[in-house]
Amino acid sequence: MGSIKTKELSKIGYTNDRARSLVINIMSRHFKHHSKPEIMELLADIKADPAKYRSHDILGKIADKFMDEPVECHFQSHELLEKTGQLKVYGAKEIERSAKQQMELAMSLPVTVQGALMPDAHTGYGLPIGGVLATQNAVLPFAVGVDIGCRMALTILDEGESFLKRFSHQVKVALKEYTHFGMEGGLEFSQEHEVLDSPVFQYTELLRKLQAKAARQLGSSGSGNHFVEFGLIELQEDNALQLPPKKYLALLSHSGSRGLGANIAQHYTGIAMDTCKLPRSAQQLAWLDMNTEAGQEYWLSMNLAGDYARACHDRIHINLIKALGLQSLAKVENHHNFAWQDTLADGRSVIIHRKGATPAHAGEMGIIPGSMCTPAYLVMGKGVDNALYSASHGAGRAMSRKRAKENMTVSGMKKMLANAGVTLIGGSVEENPLAYKNIDQVIAAQTELIEIQGRFMPAIVRMNKD
């Protein structure tokens, strides 16, 4: 867990000094194995619905601080709908009930038009991970998530299996020297990218304050399940990249918009919850009207965070490819925590939120990873309306981080890695392969949504070490 600052707590409504002190004390003692984004989402949820946590042995003390807060009247209240919009669930047998219930709650919002749940779905805050939601002229910060623009990037390289055998030491050294993981800090050498000169950084006071941090963290990755890895991808015949069907060396990365996205998410989630009042069970699904100043500010900021996440991947791939003297043959990348303006089959204009889901319009390329020991799939979308042109964003968690830690030892994980022929630099038992669903089952549950173009197997993996 990265250290939580009082100003970060203020942004999500923890404005009382005693409440902030209590939070920092409880989180440092009882939630030190949780990532900072997870903790910030949890704290926002406690503020939104304190009654839900009042009986909790530890979190009840925080919830009590919000039970009798006076409410200012500068908001709009909304009721939930009894008759909900169209929801399509893929791979329903493997999805926990609580994730389905979260999605059903989102479907009852008056701004919801249509929804879909991907086969890797599991419970999240607000919208479940794997939830896809189309809304009318409204954007939900919690349906995008804290790590705005979290994305995958795959570069296929002009080498094969023999390169890994001959130069595995050099690959490990490059991964250690040209990546940085963790909530704070960045690379030890400066990074350049045109995104840092974006005029959008000057549009709001918040973005102006975050520009220097964005520059410091450019080209780095977060914690949790973020990774940078080298492996081999086997491309299928007649693949969409039009490359010969054989095994290639490839570089795969997964990370998002770092502190920039997290701060934007916290700031506008607070505004949404203050201005859009819903029944307590649904308060995390508060939205910003796109016709309001806050809605437009969030949209601009979200898109900037998405551009910045892409820039981080650009720098990771450029740095490593240059360090190892490699040549790129093709690159595929996609967001999976984002909102897009799109058009439904019936012609309606909507905003599609994908919280942990891959865009899969007809012909659109994407990457669906498994775990550090299991395959990732290069896929092409089929553009299915019922799925809101989406697919899963990975295998999806089968265990919480806490349960994964309790059910796996370091030596047990080392044995699994050795059996799979995978070298891990950093990492933690919370991300062990058994913490995830079976990627092949998840892929099988969405064959009507995607067409497989290639299969990637990790070989040398770099992750954050807690």
Average pLDDT of the segment spanning 442-446:
97
State phi, psi for 111 to the nearest 5 degrees. Answer: -95, -5
Mean pLDDT (whole number) for 161-187: 93
Instruction: Report whether pLDDT(73) > 50.
Output: no
Which tens digit of pLDDT belongs to each residue from 245-284? 999 999 999 999 999 999 999 999 999 999 999 999 899 9
Predicted confidence (pLDDT) per residue in 229-253, tens digit? 999 999 999 999 999 999 999 999 9
pLDDT surpasses 60 at 70? no
pLDDT at 148 over 70: yes
Assess whether pLDDT exceeds 60 at residue 463: yes
**What's the CA gap between 294 and 271, in Å, rounded?**
8
Distance of CA 291 to the CA centre of its chain: 27
Task: Tell me which of 8-17, 128-137, 398-407, 445-454 is least confident.
Answer: 8-17
Q: Percent of the chain scored above 90 by pLDDT?
A: 77
CB 106 within 8 A of CB 369: no
Separation of alpha carbons 126 and 262, rounded Å = 16
Q: Which of 4-13, 38-47, 401-410 has the lowest mean pLDDT?
A: 4-13
Give, for 231, the enclosing helix (H) or strand (E). Answer: strand 227-235
**Phi, then psi, of 149 in degrees rounded to 5:** 70, 20
**pLDDT over 80 (residue 132):** yes
**pLDDT: is 166 or 125 the higher one?**
166
User: Which pLDDT belongs to residue 75?
Assistant: 73
Mean pLDDT for 37-56 is 86
> How high is the pLDDT of residue 33?
81
Q: How far apart are CA 390 and CA 412, in angstroms?
A: 35
Over residues 385-427, the pLDDT tens digits come to 999 999 999 999 998 889 999 999 999 999 999 999 999 999 9
The backbone torsions φ and ψ at residue 298, rounded to the nearest 5 degrees and listed phi first, read -60, -45
- Strand positions, DSSP E, 138-226: 138-139, 151-157
Lowest mean pLDDT of 5-9, 146-150, 232-236, 341-345, name the range: 5-9
The model carries a pTM of: 0.84
What mean pLDDT, rounded, does the chain reach?
92
Report the 10 Å Cβ neighbour count for 268. 26
- What integer pLDDT is reported at residue 68 of this predicted model? 60
DSSP H/E element including 458: strand 450-463
Q: Is the pLDDT of residue 22 over 50?
A: yes
d(CA 393, CA 45): 24
Confidence of residue 1 (pLDDT cuts 50, 70, 90): low
Identify the residue with better confidence: 19 or 208.
Answer: 208
pLDDT at residue 167 above 60? yes
Mean per-residue pLDDT, 312-338: 97
Instruction: Please say if the pLDDT value at position 186 is more than 90.
Output: no
User: Rounded to whole angstroms, what are the CA distances from 136 to 133, 246, 303, 353, 359?
Assistant: 10, 45, 19, 11, 19
Question: Nearest 5°: CA angle at 357, between 290 and 103?
Answer: 70
What is the pLDDT, as a whole number, of residue 71?
41
Cα-based distances in Å from 411 to 22, 407, 414, 418, 428: 36, 12, 5, 10, 11
Mean pLDDT of 328-344: 97
What pLDDT score was predicted for residue 74?
62
Of 56, 41, 224, 13, the C-alpha closest to 126 is 41
Cα–Cα dist 304/291, whole Å: 19
- The winner for highest mean pLDDT among 52-56, 127-131, 427-431 is 127-131
Task: Decide if pLDDT at 21 tops 90.
Answer: no
